[in-house]
């Protein structure tokens, strides 16, 4: 049970990286962001509105994304989010740090084959 919580925390900690990454290509509104994260991860990351919208608000306030309301014919207004240059730099930095983190993590822990042999 504790393991599930640890993995949930790890996923939650990747929210900023995931959001910025799906905004690289185009502006999106919240629901599109959630679905694109889910699509790219084959359903592994199932983003909720309760996690996404506070994150988008913080990113907007921090200048990593900008938001604007758009109206499309026959549809209600939606708030679209676009990654900024600062957001692009942060995404690059986060991506590098993630790579380093996981590289060091997997070098530090025993290989899976060694763990299987011990059982």
* 114 has a pLDDT exceeding 80: no
Provide the 10 A C-beta neighbour count for residue 36: 19
Long-range contacts of 63-67 (CB under 8 A, 24+ apart): 63/87, 64/16, 64/20, 64/90, 65/19, 65/20, 65/23
Write b or e for each residue in 3-22: b if 16 or more Cβ atoms lie within 10 A of its Cβ, otherwise e: eeeeeeeebeebbbebbbbb
CA angle 102, 106, 109 (to 5 degrees): 135
Rg (CA), the chain: 17
Per-residue pLDDT at 4: 60
Sorted by where each starts, the structural domains of the chain and their CATH numbers stand as 2-118 (1.10.10.10)
Token match 């509104």: residue? Answer: 29
pTM, full prediction: 0.83
- Residue-wise pLDDT tens digits, 32-84: 999 999 999 999 998 899 999 999 999 999 999 999 999 988 888 999 999 99
Q: Which DSSP symbol is given to 43?
A: T
Q: How confident is the model at residue 115 (pLDDT cuts 50, 70, 90)?
A: low
């Amino acid at each position: 049970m504790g393991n599930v919580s640890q993995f949930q925390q790890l996923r939650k900690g990747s929210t900023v990286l995931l959001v910025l990454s799906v905004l690289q290509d185009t502006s999106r509104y919240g629901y599109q962001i959630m679905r694109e994260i889910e699509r790219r991860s084959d359903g592994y990351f199932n983003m909720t509105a309760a996690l996404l919208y506070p994150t988008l608000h913080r990113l907007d306030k921090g200048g990593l994304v900008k938001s604007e309301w758009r109206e499309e014919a026959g549809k209600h207004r939606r708030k679209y989010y676009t990654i900024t240059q600062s957001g692009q730099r942060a995404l690059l930095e986060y991506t590098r740090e993630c790579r380093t983190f996981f590289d060091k993590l997997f070098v530090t822990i025993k290989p899976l084959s060694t763990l299987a042999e011990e059982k």
